[in-house]
Structure 1
Amino acid sequence: MSVMSFVRPAALREGDVVAALSLSSGFVARVPHRYEAGRRQVRAELGWRVVPAPNALRGEAYLYRNPQARADDLHWALENREVAGLLSTLGGDDSVRLLPLLDPAVIRAHPKVFLGFSDSTVTHLQFLRAGVTSFHGPALLTDLAEHGGMHGYVSRGVRQAVMDARGFRLRPAPEWTEQHREWLDPDLQEVRRTFAPSGGWVWLQGERPVQGHLMGGCLEVLDMLNGTPGWPEPALWRGAVLCLETSEDVPAPAQVGYWLRNFAAQGLLAGAAGLVLARPRGYTPERVEALYGWVRRVLWEAGREDLPVLANVDFGHTSPQLTLPFGAQARLDPALDVFEVLEGGVTA
C-alpha cells in the first residue's frame, strides 16, 4: 500500500504570531475575559502572540450572516507573512457553509499550522485535500483557556505536535474532567475544575501492528460534510488511521453505529489501517459499553475483525486533550500497547 505524502508547515516557535480565527461560531465576542485568558495562557505556556483575524471578534450574528468574512479570515491568515500559525477560537455547527468560498490553492501555497477541533473538522479535511498536514487539538476558548491555567498535558501535547519536527509517542492523560464552569461569568475563570483519575485507554480488538496517516474528526461534522464537494476523495481515506470523536450532542451509540455503517458502505473501513476512538463526552459507563458493542458489530459486518481499535483516547470533546497531526504517519501496536506518531507533522 502506498504511503500518503503531505506538505508539512513550518514548526511554530516561541515569539511567533498566531491568528485567532472564528470560522464557525462567533461566540468568542460574548466572552472577552475568556479570550484574553486564552491569549495570556498561550503566551505563558507556548510563547506565541495571539492576534485576532480581521473578523474573528465581530460576533455571532455578523459571522453567521457573513460566511465570506470567515473564509476571508482564513485566506488572510495564510497569506499574511507576519502570521506563523492559525488557531480556532471555538467550534460551532456551520463551517460546511464555507466550502464554496475556500481556495485550496491558497492552503497549498501557504502551508501553516492550523489548530482546532469539533467543527474545525471541515477545515482540517480541506487542508488534507489540499495536501497539507493539519492539527486536531484544543481551541483557544477550550483547553487553551482552561480555568485557572492550561493543563500540563495540553501544553505538552501542543508543543510536541506543532513545535517539534520529530515523531512522538502518545500517552493517556493521568486525569480528566467534564465538569462545567460557566464561561459567561468572569469570576469563574480562575476557579479550577475538578479532575478525576483516568481509566486509561482500551483496545477493543486487533493483534498486529499497523501504520497509516492520521485523519478523521468529529463524527457529527463528518456527517454534515458527507456527500458535499468537501468530502475527501477515496484515495485520501485509503490506509488511514481514522481518529473519530463525538461532541457534546452525545449521539446515541446506535447513531454512531449507523455512521460507521455508512463508512463501511463507502469502503472506508475496508481500506482503513486502524481506528482510534476518543473518550465520548457525556456517556455513562453503560452507554460506553453499548457504543463499543456497536463498533465491534459494524466492524464484524464489514469483515474487519482484524482492524486494531484503540478507544477512550484523550482527544476531541474531553479535557485535557491531545493534539493529533492529521496527515502524519502513525503506528498502532495492540500487543505492545503503543500509539505513536512516526514523523513530525511540521518541519524544523
Structure 2
Amino acid sequence: MNRRRALALGLAAAAAPASTGAAGAAGPALRKPPRLRPGDTVGLVAPATYSDDPYALELVQETIAAMGLKPRLGAHVLDRYGYLAGDDKARAADLNAMYADPEVKAVFAVRGGWGAARILPWLDWATIRANPKLLVGYSDITALHMAFAARAGFSTIHGPIGASSWTQMSWDSFRALAFEGATPTWRNPPGDEDRLVQREGRTRAFHNGLAQGRLLGGNLTVLTALMGTPYLPDFSGAILFLEDVDEAEYRIDRMLTQLALGGVLGKLAGVVFGQCTDCVAKAGSSANGFTLSQVLAQHLAPLGVPAFQGLAFGHVDDQFSLPEGVMAEIDAGAGTVRILEPAVA
C-alpha cells in the first residue's frame, strides 16, 4: 500500500502562490477555509436522498472518528420525506446550522442521491459566506459545490461522502488536501494486472498539452441541471472536471451538447473526464452505436484545449479528491492534475 500511495499521490514539494490570480481565472481571489486538525468537530448533513438506517449512520460516524475528528449530526439526518432526507427547508436548515456553529470546522455530506439542488433557495448565503468551512462530498453534492463556487467564494472539496468506503488511496488524497494543505499531483496508480500492457487505470488524451485554470466541476448530470440558474459559476478559463454513473452514451452526448450550446465548453482552458461507472447502453438497445470515448472525442477534441479521460475520481472506491475553485495544471498526455495552491489556510 505504501508503494501504491507513493505512486498515486506524487505530492509536490512546494506550494504555488495562494491566490487565483493566474491568467484565465475569473472573479476575486478565492478565500480558503481553515485546514482540518485532529480533534476538530465536523458536521454531518444529508442534503439529498434519505438514509434511515441507524447502523449505516453509525459507520459514517466511526469513519469520521477514525480520521481523528468529532462527528456532529444534523438534526434532520435521519428524517425521510419521500425519497429525500426530510423536506427542503429541513435539509437546508441543517446545512445553515453547521455554517452558523463556530464549533463546526467542516461539513460532510452523509450521502448523495438526489435533492441537493432543491435546497439552494433555502440556504443562508450571508451566513455561509461569512463562515468559510470545507464542504466535502461528490455526486449530487455537485449542486452545492457549484452553488458555493458561484455564491460563497471559498474552496470546497469534491471527494468521498461520509458513507463512502474510504480506501487508503481515497483517505490519503483527502488528507493531503484538507489536513496538510498540500499541493499534490494526481496520477492514476499502475494496474496490478498480469498483462504485457496495462489496461486498468489508463488515461486517454483527446488533445495533448498543458493547461492551467480553476478546477470546477463534478457530476455531469447534476451540473447540467443547473444550466440557466444563478447557481452555476463562471467557467471562463476554468478546468472542467466531470464524472457520472449509470448514464448511457447517448445521454452523456446529450448533456455535453447542452454544455456546448450553453457556451460552457467554449470558455474552458482544459477538461478532465474521470470515471463514468456503468455508462453503457443496454445490450440490444437502439441507443448503441458510439462508445463513451468516441462521444467524448467528438465533444472535447474540437475544443483545441488539453483534455483527457480516465483519472480516478467519481463513483469508484479509489478516488482522488479535487479542490473546487483552486488553481491547477493538467497534463493531458501524462494524464495528471497538479494542484497549484493549497485548498485550505
Q: Same fold (TM over 0.5)?
A: yes
Counterpart among 238, 260, 267 of residue 263 in structure 2: 267
Counterpart of 1:21 in structure 2 is 45
SS of aligned partner of 1:246: strand
Residue equivalent to 2:338 = 340
In structure 1, the gaps of 5 or more residues are 145-150, 177-196
Deviates most, 213-222 or 82-91: 213-222
Distance 2:33 2:126 in 1: 15
Cα separation, 1, equivalents of 2:342 and 2:65: 23
Please report how far the alpha carbon of residue 200 of structure 1 lies from its aligned counterpart in structure 2 after TM superposition: 1.7
- Judging changes above 3 Å, is the alpha-carbon distance between structure 1 residues 174 and 80 closer, same or farther for their aligned structure 2 residues? farther
Q: Does 1:298 align with 2:299?
A: yes
> Residue in 1 aligned with 2:182?
166
Tell me how far 1:231 sits from its aligned partner: 2.7
Equivalent residue of 2:241, what SS?
strand
The residue number in structure 2 matching 1:189 is none
Higher helix residue share? 1
- Indicate the residue corresponding to 2:4 in structure 1: none
CA contact (8 A) 1:173 1:320 kept: no
Q: Distance in 2 between matches of 1:289 and 1:143?
A: 32
Do the aligned residues in 1 keep the contact of 2:137 with 2:159 (CA within 8 Å)? yes
Deviations 1:149-198 (A, max 9, x none): xx11011011012112231111214569xxxxxxxxxxxxxxxxxxxx97
Q: How far apart are 1:226 and its partner, in Å?
A: 1.9
SS at match of 2:338: strand
**1:11 aligned partner:** 35
Residue 78 of structure 1 is aligned with which of 76, 96, 99?
99
Q: Is the 8 A contact 1:278 1:314 kept in 2?
A: yes
Residue 324 of structure 1: how far off its partner (Å)? 0.6
Pair 1:69–1:198, CA change in 2 (3 A): farther
Aligned pair in 2 of structure 1 residues 142, 174: CA closer, same or farther (>3 Å)? farther
Distance 1:164 1:346 in 2: 9
User: Which one-letter code corresponds to 2:307 in the other structure?
Assistant: V
Aligned counterparts, 1:23-172, within 5 A: 23-27=47-51, 29-30=52-53, 32-44=54-66, 46-61=67-82, 66-129=87-150, 130-144=152-166, 151-172=167-188
Counterpart CA distance in 1 for 2:123 and 2:307 is 33
- Percent identity, aligned pairs only, is 29
Task: Tell me, yes or no, if the aligned pair for 2:203 and 2:335 is still in contact at 8 Å.
Answer: no
- Cα distance 1:338–1:119, how it changes in 2: closer, same or farther (>3 A)? closer
**Helix, strand or coil at the partner of 2:104:** coil
Indicate if the aligned counterparts of 1:90 and 1:139 stay in contact, CA closer than 8 A: yes
Gaps of 5+ in 2: 1-22, 193-197
TM-score normalised by length of structure 2? 0.83
CA contact (8 A) 1:25 1:60 kept: no
In structure 1, the partner of 2:12 is: none
TM-score, structure 1 as length reference: 0.83
Query: Residues 291-322 of structure 1: CA distance to partner in whole angstroms, max 9, x if unpaired?
Result: 1111111235xx41x22222122112111211
